[in-house]
Amino acid sequence: KDPLLLRAARGEAVERVPVWMMRQAGRHMQEYRDLIKKYPTFRERSEIHEVSTEISLQPYRRYGTDGVILFSDILTPLPGMGVDFKIEEKTGPKLVPMRTWESVNAMHTIDSEKACPFVGQTLRDLKKEVGSNATVLGFVGCPYTLATYMVEGGSSREYLEIKKMMFTEPELLHAMLAKIADSIGDYGIYQIESGAQVIQVFDSWAGHLSPKDYDVFAAPYQKKVIQKIKSSHPEVPIIIYINKSGALLERMSQSGADIISLDWTVTIEEARKRIGNDIGIQGNLDPAALFAPNEVIKERTEEILRACGGRNHVMNLGHGIEATTSEEKAEFFINTVKNFRF
Ligand code: CP3
């Protein structure tokens, strides 16, 4: 029998609502913080397959989550396209900013098995380890969000460099986005063929675009990635996530994804009205709610479960779990969902 989350993601009737947490593998867990002492850089932790497998399994063992997400990053496939990066513990990703035709022309198509064999190995090991007790999730970054890191050279607050490129050299940005889409589609397929049963696509920063620019620079490239994956694996559910996406729900429902991962800025009732009944929902508890007293966590969580009605729903947070969340609160949230019945 297929695992619960996979069946729910396909829209089948299920015995209870499945649950996992975005960014569940990582900073909020003591075991992870202990591992940092032995493997100080993010690239080691995510690119030595034994280590990334172990980290991926930590929240599964601790909480019994229904989803086990690959411990990796959206930037992980970039070296396979000729784009190097570093992750600094304090400030996050660092890249040499790409703002010229020369830098875009130097990008090449990924050979995923050659560039990221550790991703394939981790997914194979995760699948073997969890069997039908949990669903293995792979993930990719969407072209616009990846391009923000490549053009800005790292994280950004206002995204001015990529927006300057968008307004002054749109063809250059399109060339970059098209190249990324091509490789990311292949990389998603590689994850599925290695064991990922569901793929989440993150266009985290596309919510910072005006609707007009979103339609030109984000949406078409999300669709390219999703269509490429669907054309070889139509049966694999795809979840789409965008941060601060309240204004974009109708657009997200046209992306080709099977499930929209909602942030906490919309109610389930409003989201349903706007996306219709043919698409699944993931989410959408505010990660900050995990700092509330247990009664409040329970009340807010059950409110979401009831509003979704137990069909076409994967319970989750509205964004990644905060690093300072206690493991007891995370555990309480997971158990609240697992114990809930209609
Ligand atoms: O948060 C999102 O919107 C999800 C999409 C996303 C990921 N990485 C997925 C991810 C984004 C936007 C990134 C970029 C990135 N990479 C950041 C954010 C910086 C910014 O601009 O705000 C950071 C800090 C990294 C580096 C990174 N990625 C670290 C240090 C870690 C491990 C520890 C942790 O929890 O922060 C990651 C893990 C990571 N990034 C996962 C995913 C899906 C792994 C799965 C998981 O942790 O459960």
Residue range 147-175, pLDDT digits in tens: 999 999 999 999 999 999 999 999 999 99
Query: If you measure from the C-alpha of residue 321 to the centroid of ligand 1, how many angstroms do you get, rounded to a whole number?
Result: 11
Note the pLDDT of residue 291.
98
Verify whether ligand 1 is closer than 6 Å to residue 73 (CB atom). Answer: yes
* Rounded Cα gap, residues 284 and 68, in angstroms: 18
Residue nearest to atom 39 of ligand 1 (CA): 73
What angle is formed at CA 162 by the lines to CA 157 and CA 166, rounded to 5 degrees? 135
Whose CA is closest to 65, among 15, 136, 2?
136
pTM of the shown model: 0.97
Q: Residues 318-323: what's their mean pLDDT?
A: 97
DSSP structure string for 317-332: BSSPPPTT--HHHHHH
Query: If you measure from the C-alpha of residue 72 to the centroid of ligand 1, how many angstroms do you get, rounded to a whole number?
Result: 8
List the structure tokens of 327.
């493991």
Whose CA is closest to 43, among 91, 21, 70, 75?
75
Residue nearest to atom 40 of ligand 1 (CA): 73
Close Cβ partners of 15 (under 8 Å, ≥ 6 residues apart): 4
Note the pLDDT of residue 195.
98
Query: If you measure from the C-alpha of residue 142 to the centroid of ligand 1, how many angstroms do you get, rounded to a whole number?
Result: 14
Query: If you measure from the C-alpha of residue 276 to the centroid of ligand 1, how many angstroms do you get, rounded to a whole number?
Result: 30
Give domain 4-339's CATH number out of 3.20.20.210, 1.10.3720.10, 1.10.287.610, 3.30.1020.10: 3.20.20.210
Query: If you measure from the C-alpha of residue 342 to the centroid of ligand 1, how many angstroms do you get, rounded to a whole number?
Result: 34
Verify whether ligand 1 is closer than 6 Å to residue 154 (CB atom). Answer: no
Count CA within 13 A, CB hemisphere, residue 39: 16
Query: Model confidence at 122, in pLDDT bands (50, 70, 90)?
Result: very high
Confidence check: pLDDT of 182 > 90 = yes
Instruction: Judge whether 126 and 176 are in contact, CB under 8 Å.
Output: no
The overall average pLDDT reported for the chain is 97
Verify whether ligand 1 is closer than 6 Å to residue 66 (CB atom). Answer: no
Name residue 103's amino acid: S
* Rounded Cα gap, residues 57 and 20, in angstroms: 12
Confidence check: pLDDT of 265 > 90 = yes
Confidence check: pLDDT of 89 > 90 = no
Residue nearest to atom 23 of ligand 1 (CA): 92
Q: How many helices (H) and strands (E) does the chain have?
A: 16, 9
Residue nearest to atom 47 of ligand 1 (CA): 23
- Long-range contacts of range 74-78, CB-CB < 8 Å, 24 or more positions apart? 74/139, 74/140, 74/141, 74/145, 74/146, 74/202, 74/204, 75/141, 75/146, 75/149, 76/46, 76/47, 76/116, 76/119, 77/110, 77/112, 77/115, 77/116, 77/140, 77/183, 77/184, 77/187, 78/146, 78/150
Count CA within 13 A, CB hemisphere, residue 340: 26
* Rounded Cα gap, residues 220 and 315, in angstroms: 28
Start-end of H helices in 39-153: 42-47, 49-63, 101-105, 112-115, 117-130, 143-152
Distance in angstroms between the alpha carbons of the first and the last residue of the chain? 23
Query: If you measure from the C-alpha of residue 273 to the centroid of ligand 1, how many angstroms do you get, rounded to a whole number?
Result: 31
Count of residues for the chain? Answer: 342
List the structure tokens of 63.
């909480």
Whose CA is closest to 144, among 231, 255, 247?
255
Query: Model confidence at 90, in pLDDT bands (50, 70, 90)?
Result: confident
Instruction: Judge whether 309 and 271 are in contact, CB under 8 Å.
Output: no
Whose CA is closest to 303, among 336, 331, 276, 325?
336
Q: Residues 93-102: what's their mean pLDDT?
A: 98
Probe target for ligand 1 pocket from 44, 73, 89, 135, with the most ligand atoms within 8 Å of CB: 73
Q: What is the DSSP letter of 282?
A: E
